[in-house]
Every structure is written in C-alpha cells, then in structure tokens.
Structure 1
Amino acid sequence: MDVSQRITRSLKGVFSVCQLTRVTAFPPLFRRHLKAVFGCLFFSAAFPLTTVAAETAEVKVAALEVVGFARETPPGAPMGVAYLNIHNGGDRQRRLLGVELPRHPKARAELHSTVEESGVSRMRPLAEVTLPKGASLEMQPGATHLMLHGVRLAAGENLPLRLVFADGGTLEVVIPVRADNAAQQQGHHHHHG
C-alpha cells in the first residue's frame, strides 16, 4: 500500500469517527478529545512509526495559550529576564514545574516571585506555578518572572522555551528578545536573598 492510499484510509477512518461522535450524545469537550485520540490511532495505523504517546502529550497542553518576551541582557549583568502570559483554557488546573532553554543546554531558567520584606523587594525562586482552569498568569516586573542564567540575549533575537508541566506534558514556544527599557527598570531594584 503506497503513501497516498494510507493517507486516504486514515482520513476515511477519522471522518467516520467524527460522524459517529456528532450523532452520539457525548458532551462537546469529550467529543473533541475522542476525535483527537481516534485521529491519532488511525494515523498511527497508516504510519506505524508515528507514536500515539507523542500525539496525546500534544493534546494535553493544547488548551494553553502562551505569549511573552525576554529583555536583552544588559552589559555586565549576570542574568537576564523573561515574562510570559499563560492562559489555561482547559478544563483542569495545570502545574508549571519549570522552563527549559533548548537552544542553550548549559543555561537555565528559574521561576521567580518578588516579595516585599521590610520595605525591600526580594526575589524568591518558585518550585512551581499553579494555573487554575480558565485562569491566566501574567508575568511582569515586580511579580512572577523568569530569571535566565548562562545566556546572553540581544534585541531582535528569538528565544525558544520549553514549558514543563507536572503531568509530563511540555509546550514549546518562541519569544522575541526586546531592547532593555532603562526607563521601565529605573526605580525597580530587586534583591535575591
């Protein structure tokens, strides 16, 4: 059986499942997941090297929307910073355990929060960030953010990130690197402690 016949057979199977789920009394969210799972199964049958596990991991994080940016690394600064806005449009909470820098294997990104102690803002590392269903996390200066160690960033570059979740799912995003805005940074002094 050639490739075009495999694709045709796979698509016919997916279409049949889609028709079945449309006329059956399943809730809409369940129908959508059922279609995705059967689509992966039929595609895997047509192309044996395709793994269902990889496809289902992608489906797990599909309800997340992520946008953000990183700041260029100032001269002499030991680390950089990035901010993400993450919206969990799914039907259950997510726990973000960390962020990886796939293009920079020796570098690391840390989740941080800023807290006020005795009139001084201090940054504290976070072990995880919980994203309730339907909620958003907006990282910003003076609040939750990503500290970037071991990588120098220049304005105009793109920075690939891999978000790692407690359920084993990952999500790859690419964010732009923006010029450092000295006016925005003025008066915002944070200390690690």
Structure 2
Amino acid sequence: MRGGFVKTALRGLLLAAMSVPALASAGLDVEGYARETLPGASMSAAYLTLRNTGNSARSLQRLELPLHGGARVQIHSTVTEGGISRMRPLAALELPPGGEITMAPGGIHLMLSGAELRAGRKVQLRLYFADGEVLEVGLPVRAITDGVHHDHG
C-alpha cells in the first residue's frame, strides 16, 4: 500500500516539475491574477506581468480560456480621450528582449467575457505567441473586494 502511495506521489511531483521548465525554456516569466465575476455578470478582468528573459523579441498574439467553452479573452488598453476613459482592444503585445509588461487597472489588461470565475479558485489561461509557442498558466481568482475594482460596465 505504502509503495503505491509513494509511486503516485513521485509521479505527481515529476509531472509538476515537467510543467515548470516550459515557462523557463520559453524565456518568459508569467504571473498574475483574475478578478471574480459578480453574480449575474459575465465580464471580468485579469492582470499579468510578462517578463521576456530571452534574447529575442516575443509577440503575444491571442489568449484563450480553454476550460470555459465560448468564453473570450481580449487584450485591452485604457485610453483617455477628451477626459473620457475608453477601453480599446489591442491586436498583440510586443515584448522586447529583457522587456517587461505589467498590466494594471486603468491600463493594459485582459478582458474576460463569458466565464464564471469564483474567488479562491484558479482559471487556466492559454497564451499564443507569434513564433508558434503556446503557454498555459493557472491564475488565482481574487475577490472583487480584494484591492482595486476594474469596471467593464
């Protein structure tokens, strides 16, 4: 019985260890979080910090929420025109070698629509780069009352 438990535990550790180098080998460091959706709402936001630790430029082209069929993710920036803030979709994010992009409320962010996100859980986010690389990261979902609220209404 004990041997089976040890084998299962070691297998789990090996699988976990195998997923970590994917981010390291990509020359990228990705971290962030998503905001929960309010009851009855279908939109939320997520904020990432992307660090390009490699020697070549990277271009983030699109994102998906693979476990939420029909949900959409768009890269947005907030632009102030005539004293009015408006969100504008961005086609891509460019990361120069050694560069960093930090998303934040009122600036660049990810707009998530069609997914029910609950605080204390994780949401899987898939990132697609121009060079064909695909990365998947798990983001913690924070309560809407935890820090700054970003309104998509």
- TM-score, normalization: structure 1? 0.63
Unmatched segments (≥5 aa) in structure 1: 1-57
Bigger proportion of residues as helix: 1
Q: Is the Cα contact below 8 Å between 2:76 and 2:87 reproduced in 1?
A: yes
Q: Which residue of 2 aligns with 1:159?
A: 123
Q: CA deviation at 1:62?
A: 2.0
Aligned to 1:124: 88
- The equivalent of 1:108 in structure 2 is 72
Displacement of 1:61 in angstroms is 5.5
1:131 partner letter: L
CA RMSD of aligned residues (A): 2.0
- Structure with the higher strand share, 1 or 2: 2
CA offset at residue 60 of structure 1? 9.1
Q: Secondary structure at the match of 2:66?
A: coil
Aligned to 1:184: 148
Aligned partner of 2:92: which letter? E
Q: 1:183 to 1:156 in 2, by over 3 A?
A: closer
Retained in 2: the 8 A contact 1:61–1:171? Answer: no
User: Where does 1:14-93 land on structure 2 (aligned, <5 Å)?
Assistant: 62-93=26-57
Q: Which residue of the partner structure matches residue 16 of structure 2?
A: none
Instruction: Say which one has the larger Rg.
Output: 1
Structure number with greater CO (CA < 8 Å, separation at least 6) is: 2
Secondary structure at the aligned position of 1:97 is classed as strand
Query: What is the TM-score with the length of structure 2 in the denominator?
Result: 0.79
Out of 80, 98, 103, which is 1:134 matched to? Answer: 98
Q: Distance in 2 between matches of 1:180 and 1:93?
A: 34
Instruction: Give identity over the alignment, percent.
Output: 52
Tell me the amino acid that sits aligned with residue 77 of structure 1.
A
TM superposition shift of 1:105: 2.4
Shift of the alpha carbon at 1:167? 0.8
Deviations 1:36-59 (A, max 9, x none): xxxxxxxxxxxxxxxxxxxxxx58
Q: What secondary structure is seen at the aligned counterpart in 2 of 1:184?
A: coil
**Alpha carbons 2:44, 2:152 under 8 Å: kept:** no
